[in-house]
Structure 1
Amino acid sequence: MNTTPAQLPHALVMIRPRSFGSNPQTIGSNTYQQTDEGLAEEEMNEQARKEYDDMVAALKKADITVLSFDDRTDPVCPDAIFPNNWFSTHPDGTLALYPMMAKNRRTERRQDIVDYLEAHYELKQVVNFAPFEKGSRFLEGTGSMVFDHTHGIAYACRSPRTQQEVFYKACETLGYKGILFEARDEGGRLIYHTNVMMWIGSNIAALCLEAIPEKQRNEVLTSLEASGREILLLTQKQVNSFAGNMLEVSDPEGSPHVVMSAAAWASLDSKQQELIKSQAHPLPLSLDHIEKYSGGSARCMMAGIHLPLKPGATP
Structure 2
Amino acid sequence: MITRDPQAFLAVARGMAPDFGPATARAAFLVTPEGFARAEQSALDNRYMAAAGGYHCEAALAEHRALQRALAADLPVFAFPGDPATPDAVFPNNVFATARPDARVDPHGRLRLVVGRMRHPVRRGEADRADIRGFFRALAGTGEIDLSQQPHPCELTGSMVVDRARGLGYCGLSERCDETGARLVHEAFGLRATLVFDLAPGEYHANVVLAVLAGRAVLVSPAGFADPVIAEAIAGFYAPHVVRLRAGQQAAFAGNAIALAPGRAWMSQAAADSLDHGQRQVLATAGFALGQVPLAAIEAGGGSLRCCVAEVF
TM range (shorter): 0.7 to 0.9
CA distance in 1, matches of 2:186, 2:175: 18
CA distance in 2, matches of 1:68, 1:126: 20
Distance 1:70 1:169, change over 3 A: closer
Of 34, 39, 57, the residue aligned with 1:45 is 57
DSSP 3-state at the match of 2:90: coil
Of 291, 294, 297, the residue aligned with 1:283 is 291
Matched, 1:298 2:270: no
CA distance in 2, matches of 1:275, 1:259: 15
Distance 1:38 1:16, change over 3 A: closer
DSSP 3-state at the match of 1:248: strand
Cα offsets for 1:228-285 (capped at 9, x unmatched): 67222111211100001001002xxxx5321110000011111111222341221111
Aligned to 2:124: 106
Aligned to 2:224: 211
Distance 1:29 1:228, change over 3 A: same
Aligned to 1:239: 250
CA distance in 1, matches of 2:275, 2:168: 26
Cα offsets for 1:200-228 (capped at 9, x unmatched): 112111111233244x624x543554456
TM-score by length of 2: 0.83
CA distance in 1, matches of 2:236, 2:203: 23
Q: How many residues align?
A: 280
Of 141, 145, 158, the residue aligned with 1:127 is 145
Matched letter for residue 266 of structure 1: D
CA distance in 2, matches of 1:66, 1:174: 22
DSSP 3-state at the match of 1:154: strand
Does the 8 Å contact 1:258/1:283 carry over to 2? yes
Root mean square deviation, CA, Å: 2.0
CA distance in 2, matches of 1:305, 1:281: 22
Does the 8 Å contact 1:99/1:106 carry over to 2? yes
CA distance in 2, matches of 1:289, 1:205: 26
Does the 8 Å contact 1:247/1:258 carry over to 2? yes
Equivalent positions of 1:1-315 (< 5 A) are 6-37=22-53, 44-60=56-72, 62-72=73-83, 76-92=85-101, 93-109=111-127, 110-121=129-140, 123=142, 125-132=143-150, 135=151, 137-176=152-191, 177-184=193-200, 189-202=201-214, 203-214=216-227, 217-218=229-230, 220-223=231-234, 225-226=236-237, 230-250=241-261, 255-278=262-285, 279-292=287-300, 294-306=301-313
DSSP 3-state at the match of 2:131: helix
* 95-104 or 64-73, larger mean C-alpha shift: 64-73
Does the 8 Å contact 1:146/1:195 carry over to 2? yes
DSSP 3-state at the match of 1:107: helix
Identity of aligned residues (%): 27
Does the 8 Å contact 1:100/1:140 carry over to 2? yes
Deviation at 1:54, TM superposition (A): 1.4
Does the 8 Å contact 1:157/1:191 carry over to 2? no
Does the 8 Å contact 1:205/1:229 carry over to 2? no
DSSP 3-state at the match of 1:131: coil
TM-score by length of 1: 0.82
Deviation at 1:59, TM superposition (A): 2.0
DSSP 3-state at the match of 1:232: strand
Does the 8 Å contact 2:220/2:243 carry over to 1? yes
Matched letter for residue 268 of structure 1: L
Unmatched tracts of structure 2, length 5 or more: 1-20, 102-110
